[in-house]
Chains A and B, each alone.
Chain A
Amino acid sequence: MTGEPLLTARGLVKRYGRVTALDNADFDLMPNEILAVIGDNGAGKSTLIKAISGAITPDEGTIKLMGQDVRFTSPLEARAAGIETVYQNLALSPALSIADNMFLGREIRKKGPLGQWFRMLDRNAMRTVARQKLSELGLMTIQNIDQAVETLSGGQRQGVAVARAAAFGSRVVILDEPTAALGVKESRRVLELMLDVKRRGLPIVLISHNMPHVFEVADRIHIHRLGKRIAVVRPKEISMSDAVAIMTGAMKPPEHSLAA
């Protein structure tokens, strides 16, 4: 990767009582890449992601977005800065429609007095944008943009969530275990989606346990162990079993790995 990193973190520390979840952890995301974050359970990778997405505030350390220091105290602030997260539980409201879900928390109001005085939503505009965003990602086989999310299959829901993140994430999209709950074919669809999002110029942070998926789509792999980053590797230069060995501590990371 060339150029300046888009998002960096240095020396992040987060303690929960006597447990240190983040122990001087670093993080770098380059523009227009898919960066996978892997690590054993308890390695602190989800704490790292929460720190970046604003769900927690680290005790120590700095985060920089495009060279600027940022400090998020809530997911809303991270979102405002252009970092969109698709949570493992998707954060969709099952009874609301696809369009309503895509615009939840950032609805479009009608222009003129109807919107200003009566706060009326511009349903048509929201439908149009929702349909457009879904089509861009090749999801426009959805027949009815007004159907409730709960009537969709797991993969379709994931599609809506990713489309929402891609539509509003101006800088970074974070995907937390996007394929964990999906079947083989649906997982494939979501991987295609990720590549689509990347082609549109948005970098993605992918947290996953699924090594084949990670090795298939990631440009670089951030390996997290014992609360810190111990290596960054390229899938083309390392085997899956070596990556797992580094992750579990069975093998020392290669010398040059952090420079990558």
Chain B
Amino acid sequence: MSGAQEFEKVLDQSDTSVASFDHHSERTWIQSAQHYLHGNPAAVPLIVLILSIAGFGLIVGDKFFSAFSLTLILQQVAIVGIVGAAQTLVILTAGIDLSVGAIMVLSSVVMGKFVFHYGVPVPLAILCGLAVGTLCGFINGFLVARIKLPPFIVTLGTWQIFLAANFLYSANETVRAQDIEATAPLLQFFGSNFRIGTAVFTFGVIAMVLLVALLWYVLNHTAWGRHVYAIGDDPDAAELSGVRTERMLISVYTLSGLICALAGWALIGRIGSVSPTAGQFANIESITAVVIGGISLFGGRGSIMGMMFGALIVGVFSLGLRLVGTDPQWTYLLIGVLIIAAVAIDQWIRKVSK
């Protein structure tokens, strides 16, 4: 410290450890837990999921704790899981997408309409549906990134627009499952299933798991994924560090639209028919899965795995409580408690740095 100021001379005798990077040697176990959760944000929902499966298994017994029931829950959450994956991407950038359900339904209606009204070949109709969803996502992204409108407002608006477009375009006509089965079984692709013992897996479930795994890889092991987190964490810092935030945001919303369109295709498999009234609560359900999954609504934190666990927790509770025989309102009540608990835990984990 050759050039130290006069008043700093005493520093030579003082403890120099401050500037070194200490490694929190004396932590209580609560602090350790806090640090562990900080590094592993999907751990809380995973623990809750395992506990709730065990709990309902004890209360309800074999009817719940069987391969068939547990895979049934997977089938029931597949759509929310896929839409939740799209929602996760957007929320990680500190945005929110209220239009996910509307994009999903509109895309499925386009697929059905193109096959049954215009006689377009099925694979082409599916591509058109995916393209419409992607376009919807791009519109969201453009308005958020370029015009710099808040995501909540943008998607509140496009939610109405896409939903109205869906109703106007479809005239609220359902395409029946039997017609689809006869002329366009490919539309129901994600409804097909295979069995392993009594466990039943639909392609929709496989699609959800693969999609989540793929996005987990992309978010954690590619530059694009790290940039998604960086933007949600601190957009100015990301921009100054050389992340092209505008381009990134547009790509995130566009990809989210494509995933919603994929969910629209999977939805046809799930309900058999093309129904313009389906998926009315997909936006709320996906946000619920994301929040219970420990992903911060303020962006930049959380794991997409957590979202899938969050969706499964909701599925476990709704089937479990039905089998116990309670009023359906109890399901909503408990999910409400879970949401608040999840956000409280998120806030606590954030305090790790303080």
Q: Is the CB of A104 within 8 A of B221?
A: no
Query: What is the CA–CA distance of A183 and B18 in the complex, to the nearest angstrom?
Result: 10
Residues of A close to B168: CB separation below 8 A: none
A141 in contact with B241 (CB, 8 Å): no
Q: Are A79 and B352 CB-contacts (below 8 A) given A93-B233, A185-B19?
A: no
Inter-chain contact A79/B23, CB cutoff 8 Å? no
Chain A nearest Cβ from B5, distance in angstroms: 5
- Chain-B contact segment, one of A13-21, A145-153, A196-204, A219-227: A145-153
**A91 touching B18, Cβ below 8 Å:** no
Stretch at the interface among B53-61, B148-156, B222-230, B324-332: B222-230
Type the 1/0 row for A134-162, where 1 means its CB is closer than 8 Å to any CB of B: 00000101111000101111011000000
A10 interfacial contact with B, CB 8 Å: no
Tally of contact residues, B, Cβ under 8 A: 42
Contacting pair B226 A96 (CB below 8 A): yes
- A3 near B: Cβ within 8 Å? no
What chain A residues lie within 8 Å of B222 (beta carbons)? Answer: 118-121
Number of A residues with CB within 8 Å of any CB on chain B: 49
- With CB as the reference atom, state the residue of chain B lying closest to A168: B242
**Mask: chain A, 165-183; 1 = CB below 8 Å from B; 0 = not:** 0000000000000000001
Bound-state CA distance A212–B234 (Å) is: 33
Closest to B4 in A: A188
Q: Which of A41-49, A64-72, A105-113 lies on the face that meets chain B? A: A105-113
Residues in chain A within 8 A of chain B (CB atoms)? 75-76, 79, 85, 87, 89-96, 100-101, 104-107, 109, 118-121, 123, 139, 141-144, 148, 150-153, 155-156, 183-186, 188-189, 191-192, 195, 212, 216-217
The 6 sampled A-B contact pairs (Cβ below 8 Å) are A76-B244, A96-B229, A104-B238, A141-B20, A156-B19, A185-B14
A-B CB proximity, top 9 nearest = A105-B242, A150-B353, A91-B240, A141-B20, A142-B21, A189-B19, A143-B23, A107-B223, A104-B241
Known: A85-B240, A107-B223, A119-B224. 12 other contacts (CB 8 A): A90-B237, A91-B237, A94-B233, A95-B300, A96-B230, A104-B226, A141-B22, A150-B352, A151-B35, A156-B19, A185-B16, A212-B5
